[in-house]
Every structure is written in structure tokens, then in C-alpha cells.
Amino acid sequence: HGIMGLVTYILIFLQAAVGVAQYFFPVIIFGSVDNGKKIYKYHRVSGYVVFMLELATVAAATQTDYNKSTLHIQLWAVLVASVLVLGGVGARIKRQKMKIF
């Protein structure tokens, strides 16, 4: 859980940095606005991957000693909530904006 959390935070920071670069500084960072727009589909897909990693990190947190002794958050409850959240987010995914394959 600890290592997953650290990796997750690093990826969130990188995701945000790329998003800021695309939106505010496309000419400086990517050479042109069009080059910045070309990165968007990868940025979007990686955002969904980071989101799933966040959910996995929360699920892993249910197995820590602190949770088991103090919080008592059940893994099944986190998994059910994650499935519901993924269903809601998945319904709003615009596949036409992510044509990388």
C-alpha cells in the first residue's frame, strides 16, 4: 500500500504537469499548439490508468494493520464502491477522443 501510494502520487503529479503544459504552454513545451493537442489522447488514457491505480491503492489500504485494528473498512465494500465508480466513469468515456490503437 505504501509503495503503491507513492507511485500513485508521482503519477498524479506527472499527469497534472503534462496537463498544465498542454493547456498553458503548448508552444514552449511541445513546439506548437498542434503538437500539444497530439499528446491529449495519451494524457486522457493515462488519466484513466492513474484513476484505476488510485482505486487499487485504496483497496490495498484495507489490508493494512491500522485499518484492520482501528478503521475496520471492509475490502468488499471498497471493491463494490470501486465497481460502481468505474461504471459511472466508464459510461462517460469518449472513445473517439482516445484513438491510440
The whole model's pTM is what? 0.91
Separation of alpha carbons 28 and 81, rounded Å: 41
Tens-digit pLDDT profile for residues 33-90? 999 999 999 999 999 999 999 999 999 999 999 999 999 999 999 999 999 999 999 9
Query: Which own/partner contact pairs does 76-82 have at CB distance under 8 Å and 24+ positions apart?
Result: 82/55, 82/58
- Could you give phi then psi for residue 40, rounded to 5 degrees? -55, -45
Tens-digit pLDDT profile for residues 5-22? 999 999 999 999 999 999
